Amino acid sequence: MMLAQARAGVAARVCSHVRATVRHNSFVKGVLALQNEGAYKVLAKAQELERGDGPWSKSKKGVIHMEIGQPDLPTPEHIKEAGIKAIQDGKTTYTNPSGILELRESLVRHIKRTRGVDVSPDEIYVGPGCKPGIFFVAQALLQAGDELLYPDPGFPMYHALSNVNYATAVPIPLDAECRSFQWDAFDKAMASGRAKALILNSPSNPTGGVMPPQDVERVVKSCKKHGVWLISDEIYSSLVYDPEVNPFTSPLSIPGVDKDKLVVIDGFSKTYCMTGWRLGWGWMPKELAERVHLLTVHSAGCTASFTQWAGLAAIEGPQDCVREMTEEYRKRRDYVLNELNSMPGVWCPPVQGAFYAFPDVSAFGMKSTVIADMLLEEGGVAVLPGTDFGKMGEGHIRFSYVLSMEELQEGMARVRKIFADLDDQRIIAGSWSTSMSDEVPPNIVATA
C-alpha cells in the first residue's frame, strides 16, 4: 500500500510538471523572460508581514515603506476638482486614441515653456501612463537583431522592452556618481552597428542623478552620428533640486538634435502626484506618432477622458504645488542623505533629482538582496536591492523618501540599527568583508 501511494505521488508530481511545461511551451520566449518589478514584489512581501502577528504587523510597529515611488502628498485640489467636473459634465466617453486636442495643444505650449522648442499637436501622444508610451514606441522600433541600449542601473522596464520585442539588451554602466554613462562602454555600444535605440533617463530612477548638459549633448551627437534612436524618459524632469547648479536638460533642447529619431516621454504621476490617474504624454516625429496611435487603437483604445481634463488643469493651472512639493522633497532628501552618510560602511552619492537615494553598501561584503531582506525582515523597512535595477546595482540599496518626516525618522533609526550590527560584524570578521556573500553573517541579531 505504501509503495503504491509513493508511486501515485511521484506520478502526480510528474503529471504536474508536464502540465506546467506544456503551459510554458504555449507562451512566447519574450513573455516567459519577463519578471515582476522589484517594487511590487517587495511591496507584496511587506504587506504580508503587516498582515501577520509579528513585530512589523500594522497592529504593532508596522513596516516603513521605502520601496516604491508613491508620493505621500495628495493630488492638488484644483486637479481633482477638474476631474470631478469632467465626470459631472459627462466627459466619460471614448476619445481620440492620441489624446484630446485641448490637452495636446496645451502640451505644445508646455514644451515651449519647459524645453524652449516649438512642436505641433500631431507630434504629441497622450496615453494611460508613461509606460504605454515607451512600450508602444519600442514595439514600433525594435525587432530581432536590434540592440536596445539603456542605463545600468536603470528602470526595470527598459530590459523588459528588449525581451518582448526580441531585441538584444545592452545595459551601459553609469559612472561612480550615477549621473552619466561610463563613456568607454557607451562609445563601444553605440558603434556596434546593431544599436537601434538608446534610452536616456535623467533625473534617474533609481539613482537620483541628473546628467550634466554637456553629457546630454554628447549623447545627442553620438546618436546622430550613428543613426540611433534616442528615447528620453523625462518623467522626473520637474523634480530637480538645484537647477542653477544641476539643471535638467532635455535632448529636445539641444541644438542640432536629430528630431527625426528622437522621442520624449513625460507624464503627470510624479510632478502632480497623479500616480493612480494613469496619464502620460510623449513627443515624437509625426510618422512614429501615427504608428503609436494605431498601437493604442488596437490595445488600450484610448485614455480616460476625465483624466485628460484633469491633466489639462494640471499644466494650465497654478504651479505653486509643484514648487512646494519639490521643496518638501528637498528637506526629506537632505535628511535621508545626512543620515545615510553618517552610518559606518555607507556612502551615498549626491541626489540632484527625483526622490530616490541609492547608497553604496558594498563595504558590508554582502549581496544587495541579502541586505534588503534583512532590512525588511529584521528591521521592518522595505527597500529595493540595487540588482533590481541591473547588474551594476550590486552593492547598492534604493530608498524612496516620499514619506512623512516622522516615518523617515523612524525608518532611518531602524536602518541605522541594522547597519551598525553589520558594521560591527564586519570589523570582527575582518576578512569576511573581502567578497560579496549570499549569507547573513553569524551573530547578527537585529533589534525590533
pTM: 0.89
C-alpha dist (Å) from residue 397 to 337, 340, 348, 366: 13, 11, 10, 12
Entry field: residues in the chain:
448
pLDDT at 288: 98
Cα separation, 114 vs 242, in Å, equals 16
pLDDT at 114: 97
- 27, with CB counted inside 10 A (0-12, 13-18, 19+), is exposed
Alpha helices by DSSP H, listed for 29-143, are 29-32, 38-51, 77-88, 101-115, 130-141
Residues of the chain with pLDDT under 50: 2, 18, 431-435, 440-448
Nearest to 200 by CA among 68, 146, 209: 209
pLDDT at 226: 98
Count of alpha carbons within 13 Å of 253, Cβ hemisphere only? Answer: 15
pLDDT tens column, 371-388: 999 999 999 999 999 999
pLDDT tens column, 27-36: 988 889 888 8
By percentage, how much of the chain surpasses pLDDT 90? 82
Bridge-based pairing state of the strands 384-385 and 397-400: antiparallel
Alpha helices by DSSP H, listed for 317-439, are 320-341, 368-377, 405-429
Domains parsed from the chain with CATH numbers? 38-74+321-432 (3.90.1150.10), 91-316 (3.40.640.10)
Number of CB atoms found within 10 A of residue 158's CB? 23
- Alpha carbon of residue 226 to chain centroid: 27
Residue 162 contacts residue 198 (beta carbons within 8 Å): no
pLDDT at 429: 62
- Tell me the DSSP string of 123-188: GEEEESSHHHHHHHHHHHH--TT-EEEEEES--HHHHHHHHHTTPEEEEEEB-TTSSSB-HHHHHH
Angle between helices 38-51 and 368-377 (to 10 degrees): 30
